[in-house]
Chains A and B, each alone.
Chain A
Amino acid sequence: DAGVIQSPRHEVTEMGQEVTLRCKPISGHDYLFWYRQTMMRGLELLIYFNNNVPIDDSGMPEDRFSAKMPNASFSTLKIQPSEPRDSAVYFCASSSFEGRNTEAFFGQGTRLTVV
């Protein structure tokens, strides 16, 4: 498997624009996580899905953020409208809770810059 695939790797956008980040989890994994990494706050869990269903979105900073998982192989994180304080690295991770194989596998991240 190619691992967790995120796109784009880098995104630069102007304040107020809509941004969509994409993630393809590892095939067979039934959990998907979106994390945000900043210098100030470290790695924060934004939302996670189980079997394509959002389970906990309490980490989503505000209504400008939304996430979907229309099928087992694709998820999006959308920011609309974007603001400079949204600049961060966004990671997608997937996992399958099978016995001892419960670690999360991370994508390479999307570095978002909002100017």
Chain B
Amino acid sequence: AQSVTQPDIHITVSEGASLELRCNYSYGATPYLFWYVQSPGQGLQLLLKYFSGDTLVQGIKGFEAEFKRSQSSFNLRKPSVHWSDAAEYFCAVGASGGSYIPTFGRGTSLIVHP
């Protein structure tokens, strides 16, 4: 069965600083990988996704993520964080063949200091 680990429950950064949120997955084959963002009181919005090909994926709002098969990781990065980036971030993994059911990590809460 597939699973996702987000080791950091909370991350605090200063506005303008760089950001990296960690995500490790467990899946027997090449996975589909996703990052979602959830603002307070809102649903989840897709930031970016990886299916195949280039391991560095660009997303919305200036985010990017890199798929590293050797490390079973899909870390999310942003070079300069804005106060509006404060939210909950979820990594998800889906099977690459057959039916696709997204399995989510526990999430990382991003706090941005001015």
Contacts and interface: CB of A to CB of B under 8 A. Distances in A.
B44 A91 contact: yes
A45 B103 contact: yes
The 9 A-B residue pairs with the shortest CB-CB distance, nearest first, are A106-B43, A43-B104, A42-B106, A106-B44, A108-B43, A103-B46, A104-B102, A102-B100, A107-B43
Contact of B105 (A42, A55, A95): A42
B90 interface: yes
Interface of B: 32, 34, 36, 41-46, 49, 51, 90, 94, 99-107
A43 to B, nearest CB: 4
B61 to A, nearest CB: 16
Given A42-B105, A43-B104, A97-B100, A109 B90 contact: no
Interface of A: 4, 31, 33, 35, 42-43, 45, 48, 50, 55-56, 91, 93, 95, 97, 100, 102-109
A95 B21 CA distance: 26
Given A102-B94, A103-B46, A106-B44, A42 B104 contact: yes
A30 B45 CA distance: 19
Contacts of A95: 100
A103 B43 contact: no
A43 B90 contact: yes
Nearest to B96: A102
